Structure 1
Amino acid sequence: MMKLVLVLLVGWTWTSSALVRVPLRRVPTIRSQLRANGLLEDFLKDHRPDMFNRRYAQCFPPGTPSLRLGRSSEKIYNFVDAQYYGDITLGTPEQNFSVIFDTGSSDLWVPSTYCVSQACGTLHRRYRAFESTSFRHDGRMFGIHYGSGHLLGVMARETLKIGSLTAWNQEFGESVYEPGAAFVMARFDGVLGMAYPSLAEILGNPVFDNMMMQKAVDEPIFSFYLSRKTSSSNTQGELLLGGKDEALYNGPINWLPVTAKGYWQIKMDSVAVQGATTLCSRGCQAIVDTGTSLIAGPTVDIISLHQLIGATPTNIGEFLIDCVRLSNLPHVTFVLGGTEYTLTPEQYVRKEMFGTKEFCFSGFQAMDFVSAEGPLWILGDVFLTEFYSIFDRGQDRVGFATAKHPTEL
C-alpha cells in the first residue's frame, strides 16, 4: 500500500489564531464493564489479553477481489481499556460523534449507517452519507484486523469539525462491520488518530496534518490533560489543539526528540523500582500513547516489576495487589531525557469496586512489541494522567510536565 508522508518544515509561519479546547470525558473502562456484567472471563478465554493491543490494517484499492490482507503492519490500540473520549462532527448539516483521540494511530473512522454489527446498534451514532451535502465518495475499502476481531468499511471525504476548528475534505473510514464485544460496550463511536502520516492506513492526510496544511491551528502543537479517576464527576480531561496551557502543569517542560516518525516514539533512559532495581538499564524506546490505558513493557521486565510490587497473576490475565499493602509498595520511576518521572502506588494501581468489595489491579501490562530500534514500552494513560503531555509536530518532539489536578488548580 502506498503511504503518503507529509514533510513539515520547522520554518513554517502560522498566521491563524485558533486555539481550541476539547473536553475529554473519562468513563469506566470497558474491561471493568465486562467484569461487572460477568462477561470478562468468558471474553478473555477466547481472546488473550495481549491480543487486544495488536492491530493489523490495510487499505484496498478499487476492484480488490478479496478482503484478505496481502500484508500487514502491526499497531497498538487498546480497545478494551479505552477511557477518554471527546466530540467531533462530520458533514453538512453536522452529525455528532464521540471518538478516542489516539496518539497511537493515524486514521479517523466512525460507524456507517450501513453497519450490520451489533456494535453499531442503538448505543452508537452512525454516519449518514445521504444526509450530508459535503459528502464525497471515495470508493476504496479498508480493513483493520484486531486480535479480538476485525473492522471493515469504505472510505469517504467529509467536512470535519472539532470545536471551532474545521478540516475540509477530510479522508475517513465508514465502518460497516465491527464484530466483538469490546465494540458493543464501548462508550465511543470511533477513533481519531493523531500519530504521524506514515502510520496511516487510510490514504491521505490524518486530521491534524490537514489542519496544519489548511492553517487552522495557531501552532503545529496539541497537548493532553487527562483527569484522574478519583476526581469529581465535573472534572474533565482536555485536548488542546494549537498549543499548550500553562495553567494545567507545574514546572518546566522536558522536551524529548521523536526517534521514529510513526508513533510518537521517544528514547527512555531507564525504569527504576524504589530507586534500586533497574529495568531498561541500557536505554530503550517508548511510545507515548493516549489510546492505551495501562503502561506496557516487554514481558521479562513486566514480570520482574510485578514480582517487586507483589502483584499476583489471575487466570484471566489481570494482576491483583493486596489493597491493604498499597502504602508499603515501592515507587516506580521512569527516566526520560535525564528527568525522573515517579509514580506512587496510588498512581499505578487501579482500584475498582465490585459490590461492597474493593479490588486493586496493577497498572502495568506485559506486551512484546519490537521495532527496528528494539523492544518498545508504551506510556499509556496510567502515566499520562500524572504528566501533562505536549506533541510538537513543528519540531518533532514530545514534552512532559507535572500535571496539576483539582486540588492544585
Structure 2
Amino acid sequence: MQSLRASQAARAGKTFTGTVAGSDFDEEYLTNVTVGTQEFQLIVDTGSSDTWVPETGFSCFNLENQPVPQSTCAFGTGGFNTDTPHFKVDPDVNFNITYGDGEFLTGTAGFTTITVAGMAVANQEIGIAVNAAWEGDGINTGLMGLASPNLTSIYEGTNPSADEFPQTQIPYNPVFYSAVQQGLVSNPFFSVALDRGSFQAENNSLFDPNLGFISFGGIAPVAVTNTHVTVPLQGYDAATFLPENGTDVTYFYYTVDVESMSFAGNKKVFGTTNNIILDTGTTLAYVPTEVANAFAAAFDPPAVIDEDEGVYVTLCSATVPEFTVNIGGVTFTVDPADNLFPLGESDEEGNALCGSGTFDGGPPEEGNVFILGDTFLHNVVVTFNIESKEVTLTQRAPYTSGGGGLRRPPAAVIQRNL
C-alpha cells in the first residue's frame, strides 16, 4: 500500500474518490452515479461487470418469473428515461443477467456518459432492464459492476431465450476499464474501503451515509496498518470455468488463492482454498463447511445452524473469536463485530438473536465458489489493478463503527453475484 501511494503521488494524472453509503440495514453499499443526466444510487459490485438501470415503465417479476406490481421490485426511482439525446441504443443486442440469489434482468443496451465520483466516462455501454426480478431496498436503482469484460452480459440478437454464454456473448468494457482506456485516471487501479455499520444501523437503518470510499486511480483514504500484500489474480479455464493459475487463462472475477483460514484459540489450521472471490456485492463471507462449522462452534455460546435460514444463530451478547485469513503469506484479521449481525428476533427468554457473518459455502470441491464478502472487506483496503491483474490488500487500523437508525424487518442476506 505504501508503494502504491508513492506511485500515485509521483505520477501525473487524476484520481476520483467518492463516498459509499450503507443501505438495507448496511447489507449492501451504494454510490451516487449519474447516467446521462439522471442521478441514481447504484450498488457497488466487484463481483459482476455490468452497469445497469431499469427503464421507466419496466415490468417487475418475482423470483418465480410471475408478474407483480412495479413497487415489488422496490427501486429507489421510477427508472431511467431512455428517450433522451444523452442515450444511444445499441441495436440488435439484448441485456440478460441472472444473479446468484435468483434475481434476474432482461432488456436492451445502449451508450451514455456515466459519471461517478466526478469521473465522467463517455460513450459507456450499459444494460437497460426492461424486465426485472429484483428484491430492492427502496433506494438503489441498479448496479455498477466492476469486474472483468469477460463477465459482461450483453448478447447477440434481441431474444434472451437464445442467449448462450459465451457463444453469443458480446464482451464490452465495464466502467472502470473504459476510464483507463480513455486515459481518465492516473493509475489502472481502483480501491475500495467499506466501513462496518454500527449495531444500531444494522438493526434499524435503511440508508447509512458516509460508510466508506471508492477511489478510481487512487487509494481509498482511510487509516491502515503496515500489514499488506500484493497477489496475482487467479485466472480460469474458459472452457471449464474452473480456476487455473498460469499465463494462458481467462479472467472473470477478482479471485485469489487463500493459503489458510483460522480463528483465535483454534489449534487446527484449515489449508489452501482457491476459487475465492473478493466481492463487495455479497454481504457475508462464504467459506468451506469445515471452517464455518468449527468457527461457529467456537462462539460462546456456540452458534447453531438454523436449517430454514441457513445461518448460524447465537445470542447477540456472544463472545466471538477473531477470524483470520492468510493470503500470500500475510494474515489478515476480521473484527469480531463483523461476525455478529442482528436477526431482529429473540429467543424464548427475550434475548436478542444474531447470525454469524461467516457462512457455510459448501465443501472445497471442484467448481465450488467461496466468497470473501463485506464481513471480510470491512477490515481491509482492497486495490484492484486491472492491468497487472493483481490485488493489494492492506489491513485497516481499528475503527469505530458508524450508523444511524429507523426500523428493522426480518433479516435478508444479500448474495447477488455468481
Equivalent residues in 2 for 1:375-394, closer than 5 Å: 375-394=368-387
Q: Alpha-carbon deviation of 1:252?
A: 4.7
Task: Tell me, yes or no, if structure 1 residue 350 matches structure 2 residue 350.
Answer: no
Per-residue CA deviation, residues 360-405 of structure 1 (Å, 9 max, x unaligned), is 2100122349896x54321100111111111112321111112246
Q: Give the AA of the match of 2:213.
A: E
Q: Against the structure 1 CA distance between its residues 137 and 245, is the aligned structure 2 distance closer, same or farther, given a 3 Å change threshold?
A: closer
Q: Give the AA of the match of 2:146.
A: M
Match of 1:313 among 297, 302, 305: 305
Q: Against the structure 1 CA distance between its residues 153 and 354, is the aligned structure 2 distance closer, same or farther, given a 3 Å change threshold?
A: same
Match of 1:237 among 195, 208, 212: 212
Q: Alpha-carbon deviation of 1:216?
A: 0.9
SS in 1 for 2:298: helix
Q: Alpha-carbon deviation of 1:113?
A: 0.9
Task: Tell me, yes or no, if structure 1 residue 189 matches structure 2 residue 141.
Answer: yes
Match of 1:290 among 263, 277, 280: 280
Q: In 2, are the aligned partners of 1:298 and 1:375 still within 8 Å (CA)?
A: no
The two structures have a TM-score, normalised by structure 1, of 0.74
Structure number with higher helix proportion:
1
Q: Alpha-carbon deviation of 1:318?
A: 2.6
Q: Give the AA of the match of 1:127.
A: F
Q: Alpha-carbon deviation of 1:352?
A: 5.1
2: CA distance, partners of 1:281 / 1:220: 32
Task: Tell me, yes or no, if structure 1 residue 338 matches structure 2 residue 329.
Answer: yes
Q: Alpha-carbon deviation of 1:332?
A: 1.8
Match of 2:38 among 95, 114, 123: 95
Per-residue CA deviation, residues 111-166 of structure 1 (Å, 9 max, x unaligned), is 10130222466732411111233434433112223453432111111111113211
2: CA distance, partners of 1:191 / 1:369: 30
SS in 1 for 2:177: helix
Match of 2:21 among 18, 25, 29: 25
Larger CA deviation: 280-289 vs 377-386: 280-289
2: CA distance, partners of 1:277 / 1:375: 26
Specify the alignment match of 1:54 in structure 2: none
Specify the alignment match of 1:221 in structure 2: 189
CA RMSD of aligned residues (A): 2.8
Match of 2:49 among 74, 88, 106: 106
2: CA distance, partners of 1:163 / 1:186: 22
SS in 1 for 2:58: coil
Q: Percent identity?
A: 25
Specify the alignment match of 1:128 in structure 2: 81
Q: Alpha-carbon deviation of 1:109?
A: 0.8
Q: Give the AA of the match of 1:106.
A: S
SS in 1 for 2:24: coil
Specify the alignment match of 1:400 in structure 2: 393
Q: Give the AA of the match of 1:401.
A: T
Task: Tell me, yes or no, if structure 1 residue 253 matches structure 2 residue 228.
Answer: yes
The two structures have a TM-score, normalised by structure 2, of 0.73
SS in 1 for 2:293: helix
Specify the alignment match of 1:359 in structure 2: 353
2: CA distance, partners of 1:393 / 1:148: 28
SS in 2 for 1:382: helix
Q: Give the AA of the match of 1:364.
A: T
Structure 1 unmatched ranges of 5 or more:
1-13, 30-80
